[in-house]
Amino acid sequence: MKILLVGSGGREHALAWKIKASRLCDRLYIAPGNVGMEALGELVPIAAGAVTELTHFAATQKIDFAVIGPEDPLALGLVDALAEKKIRAFGPTRSGAQLEADKTFAKKLMREARIPTAEGRCFSAVRDALAYVESRTEPLVVKAAGLARGKGVVVCRDPVAALDAVRNIMEKKVFGPAGAAVVIEERLEGPEVSLLALVDGHTAYLLEAARDHKRIGEHDTGPNTGGMGAYSCPDLLAEDLLKRAESEIIVPLLDALRRQEIDYRGVLYAGLMLTAGGPKTLEFNCRLGDPETQPLLMRLQSDLVEAMLACSEGKLDQITLQWRPEAAVCVVLASEGYGWKADPEVTRGVPIDGLEAAAALPDVQIFHGGTTRREGRIVTSGGRVLGVCAVGADVAAARRRAYAAVDKIHFAGMQLRRDIAQI
Ligand code: AMP
Ligand code: GLY
């Protein structure tokens, strides 16, 4: 079958790697992809958010199945547009993608369905938001309600910081239009975990658990990023906790979506905090996590395309996924300025050395997130440049392999955390 993969990050490189390995894939197109994916499929120069062009391409090329990586095209209704042309796709429709694209919608749904989450309120007027902060004494978290590439959340030290956050998000629009409304919630404490499930409209199938590291700095310091590394291993979450998260969070959410007449198909990603009072939901995403997908897919033995097709066809009950019993670790190598500066100010165009030597190591895969070719050389082209991934018998062995590969790679200004998967 002819498959179109949409997106250009490390998640999409990992997806392309698994899709290419599927017995169902005859031909793979990737829009727009990046230089790291060239050997896996045909790169199509259409941006991930260009819904009309992507739909036209898929129709004229007679694409059998489209896999949508990032949230933006989902929120823009790419799956709806493809469905009108009778093209099957992996990912929710625009109404389902609201779960991620509109934190106000997600919060209301969680409240209705009595899903454990941080106590919070939604505001679209800056005055009301400021008044609410002034009336609170507990530590707060201020979130831009719209899509902000994983960066629209400010965990506040004190009430003054929360007031600043409201002004920055709603008045100065530091996260752009995503800050037209905010969600202000209590600050929770505890380890975080990403729980991902495949969903086919009625059934949910939990993927193995993964954990990402969101702060730019070691020991979880500095600003939040999209993720500086991740790992996945068997038994990351105890069985009883998984069961609890499934019955208290995933299942009630699917019921609530159905009550809203939303036929949700694709990935449901719950960002959880394991608090003293049990698992609580920080956010929902409507797609696979990046970088979590990278170590996760390194462990997946089953045919990914079969599973994604089953999602879109409502046949998830016919699928069982097999996972490698080992651990996988992904260390992100990021550009100078990533995490600290606004995206356009992050350094780009820097030549990268050592890619081949690193990729030649056993059980290592290097997924490209922000690279391009210039004058015959591979150079940086974005914030998160590479996801250096390795599999090992346990987390410690996978870490050693991943960092051995990292140590062969160099580019000027390279940022990384040395404490990924150090639990
Ligand atoms: P989100 O995009 O909502 O997952 O938030 C990004 C990150 O902010 C999370 O991974 C947490 O580290 C942190 N965060 C979000 N909400 C809360 C909360 N209510 N309490 C503490 N930390 C939070
Ligand atoms: N790694 C977090 C995310 O994909 O949102």
pLDDT, average across residues 213-241 = 91
Distance, CA 53 to ligand 2 centroid (Å)?
26
Mean of per-residue pLDDT scores for the chain:
95
Quick one: pLDDT at residue 343? 87
Structure confidence by residue, pLDDT tens digits, 281-323: 999 999 999 999 999 999 999 999 999 999 999 999 999 999 9
Contact 305, 198 (CB under 8 A): no
**Looking at residue 246, what DSSP letter applies?**
I
Structure confidence by residue, pLDDT tens digits, 363-411: 999 999 999 999 999 999 999 999 999 999 999 999 999 999 999 999 9
Q: Is 285 in the pocket of ligand 2 (CB under 6 A)?
A: yes
**Share above pLDDT 70 across residues of the chain, in percent, rounded to a whole number:** 100
Closest atom of ligand 1 to CA, residue 280: 19
Quick one: pLDDT at residue 238? 87
Quick one: pLDDT at residue 112? 93
Instruction: Report the chain's C-alpha Rg in angstroms.
Output: 20
Distance, CA 3 to ligand 2 centroid (Å)?
24
pLDDT, average across residues 11-29 = 98
Indicate which residue's Cα is closest to atom 12 of ligand 1: 214
Indicate which residue's Cα is closest to atom 4 of ligand 2: 289
b/e map 276-296, b = 16+ CB within 10 Å: eeebbbbbbbbbbbbbbbbbb
Of the residues 216, 225, 286, 290, which should be mutated to test ligand 2's pocket, given the most ligand atoms within 8 Å of the CB?
A: 290
- Given a cut of 70, is residue 252 above it in pLDDT? yes
Q: Which residues form the pocket of ligand 1, taking CB atoms under 6 Å from any ligand atom? A: 118, 141, 143, 150, 153, 155, 185, 187-188, 192, 214, 224, 271, 282-283
**Entry pTM:** 0.94
- Given a cut of 80, is residue 151 above it in pLDDT? no
- Nearest ligand to the CA of 330 is 2
Distance, CA 262 to ligand 2 centroid (Å)?
23
Indicate which residue's Cα is closest to atom 16 of ligand 1: 282
Indicate which residue's Cα is closest to atom 3 of ligand 2: 289
b/e map 38-73, b = 16+ CB within 10 Å: eebbebbebebebbeebbebbeeeebbbbbbbbbbb
H helix or E strand, kind and range, residue 16: helix 10-20
- Given a cut of 80, is residue 2 above it in pLDDT? yes
- Given a cut of 80, is residue 423 above it in pLDDT? no
Of the residues 12, 153, 195, 212, which should be mutated to test ligand 2's pocket, given the most ligand atoms within 8 Å of the CB?
A: 212
Quick one: pLDDT at residue 149? 77
Q: How far is CA 397 from CA 123, 209, 219, 351, in A?
A: 47, 18, 20, 30
Nearest alpha carbon to residue 365 among 385, 384, 388, 386: 388
Q: How far is CA 244 from CA 114, 127, 195, 249, 268, in A?
A: 14, 39, 12, 8, 16
Nearest alpha carbon to residue 116 among 236, 247, 255: 247
Distance, CA 2 to ligand 1 centroid (Å)?
38
- Nearest ligand to the CA of 120 is 1
Q: Is 290 in the pocket of ligand 2 (CB under 6 A)?
A: yes
> What domains can be seen in the chain, in order of their start residue?
2-91 (3.40.50.20), 123-180 (3.30.1490.20), 192-318 (3.30.470.20), 327-406 (3.90.600.10)
- Nearest ligand to the CA of 116 is 1
- Nearest ligand to the CA of 212 is 2
b/e map 184-193, b = 16+ CB within 10 Å: bbeebeeeeb
Of the residues 107, 185, 282, which should be mutated to test ligand 1's pocket, given the most ligand atoms within 8 Å of the CB?
A: 282
Structure tokens at 213: 């590291």
Nearest alpha carbon to residue 271 among 221, 326, 211: 211
Structure confidence by residue, pLDDT tens digits, 158-188: 889 999 999 999 999 999 999 999 999 999 9
pLDDT band at 115 (very low <50, low <70, confident <90, very high): very high
| Least confident stretch, 110-124, 139-153, 168-182 | 139-153
Give the alpha-carbon dihedral of 308, 311, 316, 318, to 10 degrees.
-50
pLDDT band at 191 (very low <50, low <70, confident <90, very high): confident
Closest atom of ligand 2 to CA, residue 289: 4
Structure tokens at 257: 């979506």
H helix or E strand, kind and range, residue 358: helix 355-359
Structure confidence by residue, pLDDT tens digits, 87-107: 999 999 999 999 999 999 999
Mapped onto helix, strand or coil, the DSSP state of residue 341 is coil
Residue 45: cis peptide before it, omega within 30 degrees of 0? no
Q: Is 292 in the pocket of ligand 2 (CB under 6 A)?
A: yes
